[in-house]
Amino acid sequence: MNGLSLTGIYKDFGSVRAVENVHLDFAQGELTALLGPSGCGKTTLLRMIAGLELPSGGAIRLNDDDITALPAHKRRFGMVFQNFALFPHLSVRENIVYSLVISGTAKADAMETGERLLDLVQLKGYGDRRISALSGGQRQRVAIARALAQEPDVFLLDEPMSALDAKLREDMQVELRLLQQRLGITTIVVTHDQREAMTMADKIVVMSQGKVEQVGSPQDIYHRPENAFVADFIGRANFFDGVVENGQLRIADTVLNTTPAPAFLNGSGVRIACRPELPCLDREDVEGSRLNATVTFVRDLGPARDIHLKTAIGPMIVEYAQGEDQQQYRVGQETVVTLPAEGLHVFPEEKAVL
C-alpha cells in the first residue's frame, strides 16, 4: 500500500504492556490523530513509528518496505515534540537548517530552503532572531519548519499544542491543518484533546489501555461510537444501565419506545448512551420515549444551556442551543423529556466498564 502501515504492533516495558496488538493504516497525505487519556500508550506508539522505540513484536511498513528495525535517523520522518526541543543558542534560521547542514547539504541550498520554510510558517524576517526572543506560537512554527526541512515522508507530532495557551492553540490547530493539507504530507498527531483531534484529523484513532478502541472520521467517532468508552471519552453523553426485554429496552421500571439491534438477546444487560443535544423538552411533535422530569439545575454556557433533569430512568442533561428554545426553565419545574429512538446508542454491558 502507499502510506504507512502497522501490523500486530505491541510493546512491553517489563511486565507492563504499553501497546497491544495494533493494526493501523495511515494513507498517503492523511492526518491521523492518536487520541486517548494519559497513559493509554499513544506516545509509545508514536515513538515506535518514529524509530525511537523498538516494538516487542509486529511490523511497520512504509510503502511496502519493512522499516520495523530501521533506526530513527535513517527514516525520513520529521518530528515535533511537546517542548519543541529547539537549540536555544542558535538563531531561528540556524535551527531550521541545522539538519540539512549536518547531513552535508551545500550551504547556499540550505539557506535557500531555510528562507522558503520561514516563508511557509509565516516567520519571514525572523531568521536572525534568537529562540529566546520568540513567543510560544513562533517557537512552534520554528519546530515545524525544522521538522519539514528534510522533506520528510511522514510528519509526527507529539502533543504539539500543549505548551501554548488556549486561544493560540486553537489558531495553530487550524494553521497546522491548512499547512499539512497544502503540503499533502502523511501526518500523525498525538493528543489527549478531543477538540484538537476533531479540528485537525481526517481520521481519529481512539486508544485506551494500550488498545485501539475505534478508528474513524471525527463524524463517525462522535455520531457512531462503537463502545461506551468512546461515547464517554468523545463529547458528552448521558448513560443509563438497562436490560433488553421482549425486544425493547427497560431501564428501572420504564420501558423505552426503542428497539435495540437484534443482536441483543432477551434478558441481556445493556448500557445506553444519549448525547445531551438529542432529547427535547415539552415537544409533542417528536417521536420517541416520553418521560416526566423535574429540573434540578440550569447551567447557562453562553451559546447553549444545560438543563439538568431528574427522571424515572435516572439523572440526565439536556443541552439547548441558545435561541433554539426561548422557554426559560427553572429549578423545580416539571417538564416532559422525549428521548428520540434513533439518538440512543446501545452497548453490551461488558463494554460498560469505564
Whole-number CA gyration radius for the chain: 25
What is the layout of strands, in order, in the sheet containing 280-281?
280-281, 334-339, 289-300, 304-311, 314-321
CA distance 272 to 227: 10
Q: Closest approach of Cβ 335 to ligand ATP, in Å?
A: 41
Interface region with ligand ATP, contact rule CB under 6 A, candidates 37-45, 198-206, 248-256, 274-282 = 37-45
Number of residues that bind ligand ATP (CB under 6 A): 12
CA distance 93 to 126: 8
Residues in 40-69 that interact with ligand ATP by CB under 6 A: 40-44
| Residue 204 β-bridge partners | 33, 216
136-148 helix and 107-120 helix, angle to the nearest 10 degrees: 130
Q: Closest approach of Cβ 47 to ligand ATP, in Å?
A: 8
> Cα–Cα distances in Å, from 320 out to 279, 297, 316, 339?
9, 14, 13, 14
Q: Closest approach of Cβ 153 to ligand ATP, in Å?
A: 23
Task: Tell me if residue 196 falls in helix, strand or coil.
Answer: helix
* Contact pick of 15, 38, 132, 326 for ligand ATP (by CB under 6 A): 38
Q: Closest approach of Cβ 212 to ligand ATP, in Å?
A: 12
Q: Determine if 36 is a binding residue for ligand ATP (CB under 6 A).
A: yes
* Contact pick of 39, 58, 136, 314 for ligand ATP (by CB under 6 A): 39
CA distance 202 to 96: 28
Q: Closest approach of Cβ 210 to ligand ATP, in Å?
A: 7
Interface region with ligand ATP, contact rule CB under 6 A, candidates 35-43, 252-260, 280-288, 333-341 = 35-43
Decide whether 4 or 18 has the Cβ nearer to ligand ATP: 18
Decide whether 50 or 270 has the Cβ nearer to ligand ATP: 50
Interface region with ligand ATP, contact rule CB under 6 A, candidates 39-47, 58-66, 86-94, 169-177 = 39-47
> Cα–Cα distances in Å, from 98 out to 126, 187, 265, 285?
16, 22, 63, 66
Residues in 9-28 that interact with ligand ATP by CB under 6 A: 13, 16, 18
Decide whether 42 or 345 has the Cβ nearer to ligand ATP: 42
- Cα 34 → chain centroid: 6
Query: Which residues make up the interface to ligand ATP (CB under 6 A)?
Result: 13, 16, 18, 36, 38-44, 192
